[in-house]
Chains A and B, each alone.
Chain A
Amino acid sequence: MRHIGKALFIATVGVLALSGPVMAEEASSAVLANTCFSCHGPDGKSAGAMPWIAGKSTDYITKVMIDFKTGAMDSTVMQRIAKGFSDDEIKALAQYFSTK
């Protein structure tokens, strides 16, 4: 199985290289994070009443977003927005903002 997987990987990457860049299954981290800036400011650096999210830890952002999704944490609009992001997307967002 392992060998078949490796062979498939090589074959696939070979074809991908020929076909040009991969069409992403999901939006890139940059495109995902850009959706947050409209309220939370560029790179999550809020200008006003919206919470600042730049530089918060990956674990913290992930937990808060998951808690918004499940309803474990109270919110106004974020419980409605967090439900629009998969767990993988939330991880990508958390990693993005933790480095800002």
Chain B
Amino acid sequence: MTRITRRSFNKMAGALGATAAMSLAGYPRMAAAASPRVVVVGGGFGGATLARYLHGFDSNIKMTLIEQSKSFVTCPFSNTVIAGMNKIDRVTHGYDGLRGLGIDVVHDTATGIDPAKKTVSLKGGGTLAYDRLVLSPGIAFKWDAIEGYDEKASGSIPHAWKAGPQTVLLRKQLEAMPDGGVFIISPPVNPFRCPPGPAERVSLVANYFKTHKPRSKILVLDPKEKFSKQGLFTEGWKQLYPGMIDYINLSNDGKVVRVDVKGMTLHTDFAEHKGDVINFIPPQKAGAIAEAAGLTNDSGWCPIDQRTFESTVHKGIHVIGDTSIASPMPKSGFAANTQAKVCAAALAAMLKGEDPGTPKFVNTCYSLVAPDYGISVAMVYGFDQGKIVKIKGSGGLSPSGAPAAVRKREADYARGWYDSITRELFA
């Protein structure tokens, strides 16, 4: 229960009519089962956090987490694997920690949802009943969007935008590439998972080339005019990797229209670019189960009540992380983590027939320009008039022109963040 200060009491007294109306109309009490059943689909930053925090708020809840993989390979820090700084084990985490809390972790794939009967069907054949369902399936790729690039093509031109075998494949290709080769990376259109991720990948591959294959070049073909943290990345590239990286944006014919897998060539409207190693990141949409359940709108993502993350299409289903429309928040592991905590608090309250409370979020995206050169973008979010809002005056980028010691500290904090959040989820 919120502590009532004089100030908040006065505010409450003023807003009382609206509050009472909201409580009655917006969030009706549910017939609370003795042990409510919550099913969570997806064991990444959103789903694993949700399961852990909801268990923490109310250990009485019977919780099942459905995750197809036996272990979770994080996209954050997977660029360090691609660049040879870490092995894949460093970014791989298991589910024993969640099991130890009494959460039932089922390795299967959710294939369908019946929102009326409140059941989830599994590829393995079973069906699970729920009182509340949480979906955190991450992204799916639009395989048909760019000519020549389908799932099969990703076997030779990796996307490496879901970490795991794709990460290892891209690493192997870069290792095999001769000195003097050309690495091409093509990021997707907005919105996509981890906006600063492509430029971090460019940076760390450049760092690998600088130390191992210094005559090599990197070409970025971007279907957008600009990218996240562009000023800071460009400053770092000039300083650390002069002459190595060529960035071409939309206005300068950066949009790839065709992928030629056999010829290892990316075609734009007016040019063709041959690469020794190509990393093509396709455009993205909501995870498959969200689309199959009809929870997406024309944008390809899931509209939600931004207070509770409950779908505005089907009641009783909450959608968090990349797959939800939580704008103005970006699609990031950090955002999914902070959204999951808010959703867990709301769910714990709603399952008791209580008001879901007021959200508060933080997102900090660290990027490494080099192993000891870190930059960040941060934002604090509140809630106003039914929407997630940026708190004015908060957030922003690391300063430009900062001394090396500041960049080093942010690189250390990037690693510190990774250690904290992965322990928070999986320990």
A-side interface residues toward B, CB under 8 Å? 8-9, 12, 15-16, 18-28, 30-32, 34-42, 46-50, 76-77, 80-81, 83-85, 88-89
When the two chains form their complex, are residues A34 and B359 in contact, meaning their CB atoms are under 8 A apart? no
Residue B118 CB within 8 A of the other chain: no
Residues in B neighbouring A89, C-beta threshold 8 A: 360
- Kindly list the 8 A-B residue pairs having the minimum CB-CB distance in the complex, ordered from nearest: A84-B380, A49-B416, A84-B394, A48-B419, A19-B20, A27-B360, A50-B416, A84-B391
| Chain B residues within 8 Å of A20, by CB | 23-24, 29, 353-355
Chain A residue nearest to B422 (CB atoms) is: A47
Point out the residue from B8, B16, B406, B424 that lies within 8 Å of A38, measured CB to CB.
B424
Given contacts A39-B413, A77-B398, 19 further A-B contacts (CB under 8 A): A8-B13, A20-B353, A20-B354, A24-B355, A24-B357, A24-B358, A28-B357, A31-B345, A34-B53, A38-B420, A39-B416, A47-B420, A48-B415, A49-B419, A50-B420, A76-B409, A80-B395, A83-B380, A89-B360
Q: A21–B358 contact, CB under 8 A?
A: no
Please state if A40 and B380 are interface contacts (CB–CB under 8 Å): no
Q: Is B324 an interface residue (CB 8 A)?
A: no
Roughly how many angstroms separate A47 CA and B415 CA in the complex, as a whole number? Answer: 10
Report if B417 contacts A (CB, 8 A): yes
Among B2, B338, B361, B381, the residue within 8 A (CB) of A22 is B2
Can you identify 18 A-B contacts, CB atoms within 8 angstroms? A9-B9, A15-B20, A20-B353, A24-B355, A25-B11, A26-B8, A26-B360, A27-B357, A39-B417, A41-B420, A47-B423, A48-B418, A50-B419, A50-B420, A76-B410, A80-B395, A83-B394, A83-B395
Residue B168 is within 8 A (CB to CB) of chain A in the complex: no
A84 CB contact (under 8 Å) in B4, B29, B342, B362: B362
Indicate if B372 sits at the interface (CB-CB under 8 A). no
| Total contacts A-B at CB 8 Å | 172
Q: How far is the CB of A90 from chain B (nearest CB, A)?
A: 12
Q: Which residues of B contact A22 (CB under 8 A)?
A: 1-2, 4, 12, 19, 355
Contact B358 A25 (CB under 8 A): yes
| B121 contacts A by Cβ under 8 Å | no
Chain A residue contacts of B292, Cβ below 8 A: none
CB contact between A77 and one of B342, B378, B382, B415 (< 8 Å): that residue: B378
Contact between A76 and B359, CB atoms less than 8 A apart:
no
B398 cross-chain contacts in A, Cβ below 8 A: 76-77
Kindly state the separation between the CA atoms of A15 and B393 in the bound complex, as whole angstroms: 37
Residue in A closest to B11 when the chains form the complex, CB atoms: A25
Most chain A CB inside 10 Å of its own CB: which residue of B5, B11, B57, B417: B417
Most buried by B among A28, A38, A41, A84: A38
A25 touches B12 (CB 8 A): yes
Q: A85 to B380, Cβ gap below 8 A? A: yes
Given contacts A12-B13, A48-B420, contact A81 B380 (CB under 8 A): yes
Task: Please report the C-alpha to C-alpha distance between residue A41 and residue B382 in the assembled complex, in whole angstroms.
Answer: 21
Closest-by-CB residue of A relative to B349 is A21
A50 adjacent to B417 (CB under 8 Å)? yes
Query: Which residues of B376-427 have CB atoms within 8 Å of chain A's CB atoms?
Result: 376, 378-383, 391, 393-396, 398, 406, 409-410, 412-413, 415-424
* Assembled-state Cα–Cα distance A77/B399 (Å): 10
- Which of B334, B341, B420 has its CB near the most chain A CB atoms (within 10 A)? B420
Q: Write out the residue numbers on chain A whose beta carbons fall within 8 Å of the beta carbon of B380.
A: 35, 81, 83-85
Tell me the complex Cα distance, A80–B326, Å: 21
Which residues of the partner chain A approach B23 to less than 8 Å between Cβ atoms? Answer: 19-21, 23
Cβ contact within 8 Å between B362 and A35: yes
Residues of B within 8 A of A27 (CB): 357-360, 382-383
**Would you give the 0/1 interface string for B338-366, flagging 1 where the beta carbon is closer than 8 Å to chain A?**
10011001000100011101111110100
Interfacial chain A residues near B53, Cβ < 8 Å: 34
Which residue from chain B places its CB closest to the CB of A39 in the assembled complex? B417
Q: Are A39 and B364 in contact, CB atoms less than 8 angstroms apart? A: yes
A44 smallest CB distance to B (angstroms): 10
Question: By the criterion CB–CB under 8 Å, are A31 and B420 in contact?
Answer: no
A83 to B393, CA, bound (A): 6
Give Cα A12 to B349, complex, Å. 22
Q: Nearest chain-B residue to A32 (Cβ)?
A: B360
A50 & B357 in contact (Cβ 8 Å cutoff): no
Residues of B within 8 A of A80 (CB): 378, 394-396
Closest to B333 in A: A38
CB distance from A46 to the nearest CB of B (A): 6
Report the bound CA distance from A75 to B361 in whole Å: 20
Interface hits, B313-338 → A, CB 8 Å: 334, 337-338
**Does the CB pair A83–B391 fall under 8 Å?**
yes
Distance in Å: Cβ of A93 to nearest Cβ of chain B: 10
Q: Tell yes or no: B250 within 8 A of A by CB.
A: no
- Interchain CB contact under 8 A, B416 and A38: no
Closest CB of chain A to B316's CB: distance in Å?
A: 20
